[in-house]
Amino acid sequence: QVTLKESGPVLVKPTETLTLTCTVSGFSLRNTEMGVSWIRQPPGKALEWLAHIFPNDAESYSTSLKSRLTISKDTSKSQVVLTMTDLDPVDTATYYCARASESCAGDCYASWGQGTLVTVSS
């Protein structure tokens, strides 16, 4: 059974850097054909795709946030990490990690973490 769980700070101050961790189980990040993405959702608003790490460790980023984001993975810990710099209150959102699904034959998501709400406020 594939599971993902996000962890990280609940409250971050403006201009600070956010580090979120997605811990996965039920599959190996080392031997997988499916990548992992980060997606966020501000309260009451739409889903916003942020970043993806491919099985070959290639990375992809939202164009509008590319300069502030870094995605990486630690296969020994079964974790995918997202860092976002220079936070602003508009970055307040629930942040999800999600695994690409084999059935999609590409990067759509059948498996999601439960999400973690991050509030940016002084």
Partner 1 sequence: DIQMTQSPSALSASVGDRVTITCRASQRISYWLAWYQQKPGRVPRLLIYKASSLESGVPSRFSGSGSGTEFTLTISSLQPDDFATYYCQQYNSDPYTFGQGTKLDIK
Q: Shortest approach of partner 1 to residue 122 CB, angstroms?
A: 27
Please check whether residue 117 is in contact with residue 10, taking contact to mean a CB–CB distance below 8 angstroms.
yes
Torsion (CA) 5, 110, 76, 53 in degrees, nearest 10: -110
- Per CB under 8 A, the segment of 12-20, 22-30, 76-84, 105-113 that binds partner 1 is 105-113
- Contact partners, residue 76, CB within 8 Å, separation at least 6: none
Q: Is 103 in the site for partner 1 (CB under 8 A)?
A: yes
Q: Which of residues 60-99 bind partner 1 (CB under 8 A)?
A: 60-63, 96
Rounded Cα gap, residues 1 and 107, in angstroms = 19
- Binders of partner 1 in range 18-37 (CB under 8 A): 37
Q: Report the residue number, 16 or 60, with the smaller CB distance to partner 1.
A: 60
